[in-house]
Structure formats: C-alpha cells, structure tokens
Amino acid sequence: MTVDVGPPERARTAEAALTLSEEMYKCVHCGLCLDVCPSYDVLGLETESSRGRIAFMKLVREGRLPLNPRVASHWESCFQCLACQEVCPSAVAVGELMPQARALVVEHVGVPKELQEVFESTSRYGNPLGQSPRRRTAWTRGLAVSVPELSRDGGAVDVLLFVGCYPSYHPRVQEVARALVEILGRLGVNFGITREERCAGDSQRLAGEAGLFEYLAEQNMEAFGRLQFGELLVIDPHEYNALKNEYPRFGLSQKVSHYSEFLARSLDALKEQLVNPLDTTVTYHDPCYLGRKNKVYEEPRQLLRAIPGVNLVEMPRNRANSFCCGGGAGGMWLDVEAAQHYSERLSERRLDEAVRVGARVLAVACPYDLLRFEDAVKTRGLEGKLVIKDILELLAGALKQ
Amino acid sequence: MDIVVLLKQVPDLVEELEVDEAGNAIDRDLTRFVVSEFDSHALEEGMLLKERHGGTVTALSLDTGEAEEALFAALAQGVDRAINLTGEFPQGMDNHQAARAFAGALKDVRYDLILTGAQAIDDVDGQVGGLLAGYLGLPYVSVVSQVRIDEEAKVAVVSKELAGGMEMRLEMDLPGVIGIQAAEQPPRYVPVGRIRQVRHTAALETRDAAIGPGGVVKVRRVYKPEPTRRAEILSGDDEEVAEAIVKLLGEKGFLR
C-alpha cells in the first residue's frame, strides 16, 4: 500500500483530479444510494458505496487525500451498474463521474495486472480475450445456416450484425451467436457480418481507458464506412451501449438495435416459428446496460412470453431495480482483484434470488451474465437446480424443426 | 545515469507460426511481431532506475517486425530518445550481426549502463548482451532480477535467482551490460491515448545499421514438433496384460 508522502503529492494529484467534473458537488451525502448499491449490499462498507466513492473524489480533488492505489481500489470495486442514479434525489450523474475517476487512475496510478492484460489485448488484437483478429469469424464455420461475411472492401445488407467479442470468441457465448443467426435465417433477414469488426470498447472506456475506446471507435467507423447497411444489430448490451450512445459522435448514423428490440419488432413472424414448448418456470435478469442505461425492459420479456410453455416470474429486484452481476466497468476482468475485497460475488447473491422465486431457468441477455451466472451456479452448488440460458438460446430451442 | 535499453521484435504467438519455404526460419511475411517480453522488463527496469537516479533512457531497436510501434510505445512510457537502426535485413539479423549493429550505433551515444532482456523466445540464445559487451570492452552479467546502482562508486550491484531458493549478489563496474530476467515490477501500462499523442508530437531517430558478418553457427532446420506414434493402452486383468506385454516385447525383437 502506498502511504501519503505529504502535501506535495496531494497537491500534484489534486491538480490532476481537476479533470473530475464538479458534478460530484451535487451529492448531498443523503445515503439513499446505500440501499441499492450492490457492492455496499455485499460488503456493508461506506467506502464501497456511491456516497463513499464520491467522498473520495472530493477529497482527492481538494488535495486532502493523495490519489494512490488504495483510493483507486474503492473506485475499482464499482461496476457502474447505475442503480444509485435511479434513486439519487440530487440526480448525481454517477455514470459520468465514475469513468472520469477511473481514467484518472489509469493515467496516474496504473491498473491491476489482469486489467492491463485486457487493455493490451484489446488495443493489439481488438478483443479483450487476446484472440487473433484473423479468427474473428471462425465461429461461423460448419454451421447449417449461412452467415454471409461482407468483404473488407464493400458489400450491402439491410442489417449488419455486430457480433461482439464474447459471442465471436468465447466458446460458451459462441452458442448465443449461433442461436441468433439461426433465428435470423428463419425470419429471412438480409444480414451480414464483417471480420473487420473490433471490440466496441465500452467496458474498457468505463474502466478508464478513454484513449483505447477512441482508437477502437475509429477502427470500427472505418470498417463501417466501407459497408452499406441500414441497421446495426448487437448482441452484447455493453457494446450496444457504446454503439448507440457514443458512436454517433464518431459519425455513426445508422439505427442501433439490441437483438431483443430487433426481434420484438418481428414478434408475430417469430411466434409462428416457436412451436417446441419449454414447460418450465423462467425468470429474467435485466442487464444493467440494456435495462437501466437504455431502458429496454419489456422487449426481452415479450420474447420470453412468446415461447410456448414458459411461466415467466419476476425476481424482487427487476427492471430499474435489477441487481448487477458484477461484470461491468471492467469487473469482468478484475475477478482476482475483487476476490481480495469481496467475500461473495454479486452473481452468487443474485442466483439466490432466482432460486427463491422458484425459477428453473435464469434467462439473460448479456454475455457477461451468461458466464458469471454459470460460474456462480457451480460455486453455489446449484447444478441441476438452475440453468442459465441466453434468451436467444431459449428461442432457438423452441424453433420448429 | 544514462541508460540504453535494447529492444528486439519477436513473433507474436497469437497467430499460428509457419515455417518459410527454405525450411530454416519462420515465415516472416505471415508473422506479427511484438517486443520481446524480457526486453519489456529491461525497459521497465531502466525506467525505475531513471526514476531513482535521474538521467536519461534511450531505447534502441533494429528495424525488424514492428519496431516503430515498440519505439513509440517506449517514448510514451517515458524514454528520452528512441533510435531505430534501419537497413536491408529482411530476415532480421542473427545475434552476432545484431550485437555488431548495436555496438556501431552506440559509438556516439552516452551511456553508463546498457540493459537488454536475458533472452528472447525466437532463438532462446541469450547472446546479444554478452557479444555486445565483448565488442565494447565492457563487463557483462545476465539473468538478473534486481539492479542497484551506487553512483559514487560507479558500480551496479545485481541479484540473480539461483536454483534451490538461493540468491546471488554480484558487483559490476560501470559502464557495463546487464541482461534482465525480470524487472522489479511488471512492465507498467501505457495508455493508448499517450502512445497516439506521442506519434504526433515525437519523432524516432533513425541510423543506418552497420551490417557485419554473422555467426558461424547455421540454422539447419526449423520445424514443428512431429507427433510420435500413439501410445497403446493395454486393458484386461493382470494376467492378460502381462501376456500382452510379453507378446509385444517379442514382436519388437526385445526377447530372445
């Protein structure tokens, strides 16, 4: 642990911390955020709540505390799930403050090794998994349904499927991508993919690497510029958030849809294809960056209800009050770091809630959720009792043969 | 303290490696390159020493692979100068040539200490540091994991990790050459924005590399390990397995 080396160090970091927005002074420290903050929920520590984190921001900005790894760790334990923003009576934009604080850490303190590896992989290979960019579309090999790959130099489709990093490379999440293209094939959607796609970079941005985010956005915009398409279809809510809300400032003008929005628009045609009943009780976990951030709450539920035999039940914390899985803002890549602070993963706590409402299937709509909840099933000993499935997998399983 | 760090580009293992047509090198056209991990540690150690003692750090690289990218990253990390040794060497250089080229380039560069990685994954040879020290008439120590400088006495005190949990401490006069096994802390993260900014604001120095004769050892063949024939697993009870073993030994001609 770094110790305070005195006023000069505090003054130096205070000067750097002027990049933090004055938004923080809107916080009146009322503490309403404590009740909904997932890290506070698990740890019960003031320092691991939104109120505590904002207090640290003020102290650093005013030169009363130096910016050091210890202060940084309180910011790094936040997943930017935005639950606090929903309840904040002063409407503090925590979602703007936290990335600023994390950027300050990346620039002046450094990053934990596991996050450094992810940043370096993303910058070098265009994905956080450290896989070859040449193999980005390898998941389509051997599929019965055709997945048209647009050439580097051009091509026109109605819908450009932005597959995203985990669906492209992670063996478990590749199943989700395969389910989606099967459904698109059934619906006769004119779509294509491109291997020029790079990580959209949202979680890296929230984890403080704004420069990396810009670099990725420029690469993606260059690739998009060579193609003609009317709409971007996205699987990962984090990449969706970046493309929908951040990429317009890099020139993206096409409509951006999460698959739940896209498929809900074709609900009638889709329903005709859904014949195999899934006779079980299902609950749905709202991903932070699909739900709270982008207010997509109903479309995923419409899709689940369209599957014959699905008994959809709600967990107590749903929609705007959904409980984060712990994967956001780099949490996905800070598991070793988190294990030093957390006695329990957020994903584990969330599973208990799903079990309590009698769900046999926990439906998700985010790659982070799929992986984190499947791990939590194992660590909680819930194998055989609770199954984690992406909505797309449930839909594909119900398609008529 | 003026420090020079030598950087080497090695194949990036994210892509499958291919052997070239001649069969004695990897196909460089199909390969991505990345700075050798040991050299990254040497650079980190150089930066730590600069932070402790002041002075300058100069990064020096042969223009192979993606050397420019590595040198810009080094500038973003905080080195004072980045020098790229350019010339006609499409196949790279062997360690003798590289050491000669570095020695030539260092004629008019001030240094108290030269750091390089203890070895690199592409040849696992670890000779450049020693050869360079020979050409420059300097002392040399390698596979080092800690460097302490006594500026007054003009010596470096270095530590090497030995087998069996032993550590060895050596003293070396400066100037000298040190091969780094590991820096005292992992190479720091350099934000992408800083690297991109440096590309706009800083320039690499280039020098013609002196291309001299190579070493006398020739690479005859580079190849992927060939799988040996499959193992055979015998099953059955003890009697049956014993009988099968005797039969096998007979077939292979081990029994007379």
List, for residues A316-329, the tens digit of each pLDDT value.
Answer: 999 999 999 999 99
- Looking at residue B159, the DSSP 8-state letter turns out to be E
Q: Does B30 touch chain A (CB under 8 A)?
A: no
Within a domain: A282: yes
- Where do the H-state alpha helices sit in A62-93? 69-76, 83-87
Within a domain: A223: yes
Is-contact A63 A14, C-beta < 8 A? yes
Per the CB < 8 Å rule, is B191 touching A211?
Answer: yes
Distance from C-alpha of A40 to C-alpha of A226, rounded to nearest angstrom: 46
Let me know whether A252 and A320 are in one domain: no
Q: Does B18 touch chain A (CB under 8 A)?
A: no
| DSSP-assigned states of every residue in A306-320 | TSTTEEEE--SS-GG
Q: Does B14 touch chain A (CB under 8 A)?
A: yes
Within a domain: A139: yes
Both tokens of residue A236? 């990962």
**SS3 assignment, position A142:** coil
Let me know whether A102 and A126 are in one domain: no
Within a domain: A1: no
Let me know whether A20 and A53 are in one domain: yes
Distance from C-alpha of B150 to C-alpha of B153, rounded to nearest angstrom: 6
Report pLDDT for A262.
98
Let me know whether A174 and A252 are in one domain: yes
Report pLDDT for A223.
95
Distance from C-alpha of B47 to C-alpha of B79, rounded to nearest angstrom: 7
Residues in chain A within 8 Å Cβ distance of B186 = 113, 116
Per the CB < 8 Å rule, is A212 touching B192?
Answer: yes
Distance from C-alpha of B53 to C-alpha of B46, rounded to nearest angstrom: 10
Let me know whether A152 and A40 are in one domain: no
Residues in chain A within 8 Å Cβ distance of B44 = none
Let me know whether A132 and A243 are in one domain: yes
Residues in chain A within 8 Å Cβ distance of B193 = 210-212, 214
Per the CB < 8 Å rule, is B191 touching A110?
Answer: no
Per the CB < 8 Å rule, is A211 touching B194?
Answer: yes
Per the CB < 8 Å rule, is A124 touching B34?
Answer: yes
Q: Which residues of chain A have pLDDT under 50?
A: 1-2
Point out the domain boundary residue: A241, A264, A287. Answer: A264
Interface with A, mutate which of B189, B196, B198 (most A CBs under 10 A): B189
Let me know whether A35 and A129 are in one domain: no
Q: Reading across the β-sheet that carries B56-62, which strands appear in turn?
A: B140-144, B176-180, B113-117, B2-7, B56-62, B81-86, B205-208
Let me know whether A130 and A22 are in one domain: no
Q: Does B192 touch chain A (CB under 8 A)?
A: yes
Within a domain: A133: yes
Both tokens of residue A48? 């691991």
Distance from C-alpha of A339 to C-alpha of A318, rounded to nearest angstrom: 26
Let me know whether A30 and A102 are in one domain: yes
Q: Does A334 touch chain B (CB under 8 A)?
A: no
**pLDDT tens, chain B, 256 aa long:** 999 999 999 999 999 999 999 999 999 988 999 999 999 999 999 999 999 999 999 999 999 989 999 999 999 999 999 999 999 998 889 999 999 999 999 999 999 999 999 999 999 999 999 999 999 999 999 999 999 999 999 999 999 999 999 999 999 999 999 999 999 999 999 999 999 999 999 999 999 999 889 888 889 999 998 887 778 889 899 999 999 999 999 998 888 7
Closest approach of A324 to chain B, Cα-based (Å): 28
- Nearest chain B residue to A135 by CA: give it: B15
Per the CB < 8 Å rule, is B34 touching A106?
Answer: no
Point out the domain boundary residue: A207, A239, A264. Answer: A264
Report pLDDT for A33.
97
Per the CB < 8 Å rule, is A214 touching B191?
Answer: no
What's the complex ipTM?
A: 0.90
Point out the domain boundary residue: A81, A110, A139. Answer: A110
Q: Backbone dihedral region of A381: left (phi > 0), alpha (psi from -120 to 50 degrees) or beta?
A: left
* Residue position matching structure tokens 């993963």: A345
Within a domain: A51: yes
Report pLDDT for A401.
81
Distance from C-alpha of A228 to C-alpha of A240, rounded to nearest angstrom: 19
Per the CB < 8 Å rule, is B188 touching A110?
Answer: yes
Per the CB < 8 Å rule, is B191 touching A130?
Answer: no
Let me know whether A100 and A58 are in one domain: yes
Report pLDDT for A385.
97
Helix, strand and coil content of chain A, in percent to the nearest 5, comes to: 55, 10, 35
Within a domain: A2: no
Who contacts B122 (Cβ-Cβ below 8 Å, separation ≥6)? Answer: B10, B11, B26, B36
Report pLDDT for A4.
53
Q: Name the residue among B15, B189, B193 with its Cβ closest to that of A132.
A: B15
Per the CB < 8 Å rule, is B15 touching A125?
Answer: no
- Omega before A316 within 30 of 0, i.e. cis: no
Distance from C-alpha of A216 to C-alpha of A197, rounded to nearest angstrom: 9
Within a domain: A342: yes
Report pLDDT for B56.
98
Let me know whether A275 and A187 are in one domain: no
What CATH number should be reported for the domain holding residue A101? 1.10.1060
Report pLDDT for A1.
45
Closest approach of A53 to chain B, Cα-based (Å): 23
Query: Could you tell me what percent of chain B has a pLDDT over 90?
Result: 87
Q: Which residues pair with B26 in a beta bridge?
A: B19
What CATH number should be reported for the domain holding residue A282? 3.40.50
Let me know whether A120 and A74 are in one domain: no
Per the CB < 8 Å rule, is B189 touching A110?
Answer: yes
The number of domains in chain A is: 3
Is-contact A112 B188, C-beta < 8 A? no
- Looking at residue A63, the DSSP 8-state letter turns out to be T
Domain holding A197, by residue range, is 115-264
What CATH number should be reported for the domain holding residue A138? 3.40.50.1860
Residues in chain A within 8 Å Cβ distance of B188 = 110
Residues in chain B within 8 Å Cβ distance of A120 = 189
